[in-house]
Structure 1
Amino acid sequence: MPMTEAELVNVFRALADENRLTVVRSLAGRGEMCACQLLDGLDISQPTLSHHMRVLCDCGLVRCRRQGRWCYYSIDPRVAHGLSDFFGGIPEPGGDDRSTSRRCCE
């Protein structure tokens, strides 16, 4: 099922922060990670990381799994595929579809 406009907007807003983008790249490259592992790769405090993780979880891009007192984070594949589908639907520059490439003032 494609992502709604509201879902896309929330994910893009979340990714507009450099620290959150770094977190998402780390999770995409390593899979599930503990909050302490994420914190090691950033120059921020634990409360700041908690804020960023809440934003990423609230938009649905990241999932949180609690085990005891630790939080383990991972990318939600449904949302990741939704983003991939969104970008996959963008036509290649110079494509053959002339109906969308005509000049508006002709």
Structure 2
Amino acid sequence: MSNLLPTQFFKCLSDETRLSLILLIHAEGELCVCEMTYALQEVQPKISRHLAQLRSCNLLQDRREGQWVYYALMPQLPRWALSILDEANVGASSLVVEARKRLSIMGGRPARQTEYC
């Protein structure tokens, strides 16, 4: 179980881009940077910077598969944090809803060889 404090959790998610990223990843299971840049219509350096911040907060983990790096939620996130993300996705902002729609029609998405355990 994670030692994540609520203040740390909310501080990490206080930015709209980071919140959108984590909600999108939570909804999709795992995503690579190219999928997130396409879905959120943001430039790669901005997405990568925010992903690094989410990793430093211990909210995300990553794995490399060939040229791709995939991001998923840390499996050790406490139940209360997952519950908050679940509720936030139910009432997701139009930004996240639109991002998921864009992602569903994205061509050339990388094929995953393995999934997180």
The verdict on a shared fold, with TM-score over 0.5 as the criterion, is yes
* Higher Cα radius of gyration: 1
Structure 1 residue aligned with 2:3: 3
Higher relative contact order (CA 8 A, sep 6+): 2
Structure 2 residue aligned with 1:16: 14
**Structure 1 gap segments, 5+ residues each:** 87-106
CA distance in 1, matches of 2:74, 2:2: 14
Q: Is the 8 A contact 2:4 2:77 kept in 1?
A: no
Q: Which moved more, 1:8-17 or 1:51-60?
A: 8-17
Structure 2 residue aligned with 1:89: none
Q: Is the 8 A contact 1:3 1:82 kept in 2?
A: no
Q: After the TM superposition, which segments of 4 or more aligned residues of structure 1 sit over 6 Å from their partners?
A: none
**Structure 2 gap segments, 5+ residues each:** 85-117
Structure 1 residue aligned with 2:70: 72
Match of 2:28 among 11, 27, 30: 30
Structure 2 residue aligned with 1:103: none
Match of 1:42 among 21, 40, 43: 40
* % identity of equivalent residues: 31
* Residues 46-101 of structure 1: per-residue CA shift (max 9 Å, x gap): 01111000000110111111122211000112125252589xxxxxxxxxxxxxxx
CA distance in 1, matches of 2:4, 2:71: 24
Q: Is the 8 A contact 1:2 1:82 kept in 2?
A: no
Match of 1:53 among 26, 29, 51: 51
Q: TM-score, normalised by structure 1?
A: 0.68
* Residues 15-57 of structure 1: per-residue CA shift (max 9 Å, x gap): 0010111111111111011111111111321011110000001
